[in-house]
Structure 1
Amino acid sequence: PPSGRRMTLTRSSGITGQDGTYLAELLVQKGYAVHGLIRRATRSSENEVFLERLFVKARKIGLKFELHQGDITDAASLARLFRKTKPSEIYNLAAQSHVTRSFQNPELTTTVNALGVVNLLAVIKASALTNVRLYQASSSEMFGNSDTASQNELTPLAPVSPYAVAKAAAHWSVINARNAYGLYAISGISFNHESPRRGRGFVSKRISRAVAAIYHGEDTKLTLADLDSTRDWGHARDYVEAMWRALQQPEPSDYVFATGNSYKIRDFVERAFYCTGKNIEWKFEGEMECGVDEIGKVLVQIDPVLSASRPLQLRSLCGDASKAQRLLGWSARCSFNVRSPQPLHPSVLMIIQDLVDEMVTADIQSFADQKKSRL
């Protein structure tokens, strides 16, 4: 097993969220002791089940898996935890991760996403941990509406939301600490990555849950803010593998993680409904576009209130992960198939699983389980 203790630093979407649970599973599988930082308010029944299973698995094979209450915005609690656990690897997944919410509360977003990372770097610098390595979760949202067709590590940052501005500040703080103080601190710029464990506030999960609800007769329509924004979607399981690989390199460096393909939100919607045997066609009702099934029933609508919730829209993202492919031997294995004339990137030709199918199938099962529990 790897020597030393390993820690996953988390907040609201950390070890209790999508990336945190997959990362913790990966680290336990590789023989790591894992310590997670968690706020009391982040715990919920939806994500605790994965952590409980992992705790049992770690205990069976003699590994430590422990959660510690704390907050990345509290430097004193970080320092105490470092003294207690002596981590050699830190994966910071802590963030206020909802873009729309960042417009509503930019102060909180900046405190957590930017100043929290400044706290973390300061504590590492002041500690006696000479060999600690830090992974900072940066975001493709930092690129904004880039002029380039695809974005890599050298693409200028042009954030269009308080969330992205704060992430950019954290990203540059990591670079500055690395250059100024010689810290092994890196950032992984992850493009959109999804899974059945995705939080309900994200558009991918909004789509998959609505489609599953409609399938079970629990709902009648999917409402969205936009259909034509494009994103580069991959699977979170692949991306946490990239995080780990990046932190094993002899020299610290930043990386982009992406599939190299981007699709419109409407493509995601079509694929999700196709999983339940429905073909969506698009038409206009007045000035608003909507999606209908074969008999003309409206299943997808644009909600003007949702559309207005972001004063600035990020229209298109597509990542270039060639550096990660070259230096880490990493490429995304899972994407989703859509009816599109766009040729697939070579890395996606090795698809081992369909992302959207997995999400929709999981949500259909979740609704079925809820129905059984009500009987």
Structure 2
Amino acid sequence: MKRALICGVSGQDGAYLAQLLLSKGYQVWGTSRDAQVSSFANLERLGIRQDVHVLSMAQSDFRSVLDTLTRSEPDEIYFLSGQTSVGLSFDQPAESIESITVGTLNLLEAVRFLNKKIRVYHASSSESFGDIKQGVGATELTPFRPRSPYGVAKASAHWLVANYREAYGLFCCNGILFNHESPLRPTRFVTRKIVSAACRIALGSPERLILGRLDISRDWGWAPEFVDAMWRMLTQDEPDDYIIATGSTHSLEEFVANVFRCLGLDHRDHVDSNAEFYRPTEILYSAANPEKANQILQWKASVSFEQMIENLVDAEKLTMSQGR
């Protein structure tokens, strides 16, 4: 039985990845900052909480990271933890950069110190690219030009992984995931904010949905199928970096319009754009070319933009009906 350690198991990707690995017969271990008080609500929601062994780990503390690896003895590590909000990184740049870069460094050093053949997946990010020229999707060779503290931190961590792979021979991969959504997204994420507000409005709430820029464009995918690509990276003969995305870009206004349309509403009657919600610097256009993953990993996104939004709306309606 293979043993996998998921750092950040309580998040959206961590929970879906745990579910996937359990279905493949893995023994799954997961970390959070304090496993004694964490609710692990996402694992509970997926019905797998009792199947995951949880440990406390402070990723900024090398000894804590080393102790976690020693106790869990993983064959594979999926490093998904650290600050995850682009917006929050503007308010807390030092914490964002430290939690992501130092945490990644500590993990890589711990794996090198143990001198075991542990395979490592690192959650890189499309935010590292910054703005992409319209009509040209980013590839694994596209230069990084991040436009947020979060993007800067992820770009730094990405190159740490690449350096440890080349300098020390570690089997470590960067998964450069573009935006991916699910019902497990926290409410601080704009996509969940939009879906939640639209569902309340459809039930009669008089509120208006206030957003920042509506002209930004992203490649949005369905998170439950993205985690399969993470696992596939660690099954390859050689470690490498891969872009994981749908290859299709849509504006935030398209996202909003589709959400309200699913509820029989016109978004223009309920949504306002306010400059107060603009970020200091913003990626206006993001696009991806996932051909490498399609060819080598045999992975391709199957859930369309429209179906993803229907899934999010249906899940939110169910959550509201159950009073969660």
Q: Is the TM-score greater than 0.5?
A: yes
Instruction: List structure 1 segments (4+ residues) > 3 angstroms apart after TM superposition.
Output: none
- TM-superposed deviation, 1:116: 0.7
Distance, in Å, in 1 between the alignment partners of 2:264 and 2:38 is 35
Distance, in Å, in 2 between the alignment partners of 1:76 and 1:28 is 28
Distance, in Å, in 2 between the alignment partners of 1:145 and 1:81 is 37
- TM-superposed deviation, 1:45: 7.1
- TM-superposed deviation, 1:32: 0.3
Distance, in Å, in 2 between the alignment partners of 1:30 and 1:219 is 47
Where does residue 304 of structure 2 map in the other structure?
A: 335
- TM-superposed deviation, 1:24: 0.3
Where does residue 272 of structure 2 map in the other structure?
A: 301
Amino acid at match of 1:312: T
- TM-superposed deviation, 1:48: 4.9
1:108 match: secondary structure:
helix
Q: 1:219/1:329 Cα in 2 relative to 1: closer, same or farther (>3 Å)?
A: farther
Where does residue 312 of structure 2 map in the other structure?
A: 359
Distance, in Å, in 1 between the alignment partners of 2:189 and 2:172 is 28
Equivalent pair of 1:138/1:187 in contact (CA under 8 Å): yes
Structure 2 gap ranges (5+): none
Where does residue 217 of structure 1 map in the other structure?
A: 204
1:115 match: secondary structure:
helix
Where does residue 4 of structure 2 map in the other structure?
A: 6
Where does residue 43 of structure 1 map in the other structure?
A: 38
Pick from 145, 149, 156: which aligns with 2:131?
Answer: 145
Q: List aligned pairs for 1:19-38, cutoff 5 A.
A: 19-38=13-32
- TM-superposed deviation, 1:145: 1.1
Structure 1 gap ranges (5+): 59-64, 281-290, 293-298, 338-353
Distance, in Å, in 2 between the alignment partners of 1:364 and 1:218 is 14
- TM-superposed deviation, 1:362: 1.1
Structure 1 vs Structure 2: percent identity of aligned residues? 38
Out of 36-45 and 216-225, give the one that drifted further: 36-45
Distance, in Å, in 2 between the alignment partners of 1:88 and 1:115 is 22
Pick from 122, 125, 149: which aligns with 1:136?
Answer: 122
Pick from 52, 57, 80: which aligns with 1:93?
Answer: 80
1:80-122 per-residue CA deviation (whole Å, 9 max, x = no partner) reads: 1211121110000012111111111111001111111011111
1:139-191 per-residue CA deviation (whole Å, 9 max, x = no partner) reads: 10100013362101000000000000000000000000000000001100000
Amino acid at match of 1:357: E
Where does residue 260 of structure 1 map in the other structure?
A: 247
- TM-superposed deviation, 1:240: 0.1
Distance, in Å, in 2 between the alignment partners of 1:316 and 1:366 is 32
Give the aligned length. 322
Equivalent pair of 2:7/2:81 in contact (CA under 8 Å): yes
Where does residue 261 of structure 2 map in the other structure?
A: 274
1:87 match: secondary structure:
coil
Greater Rg by CA: 1
Distance, in Å, in 1 between the alignment partners of 2:64 and 2:320 is 39
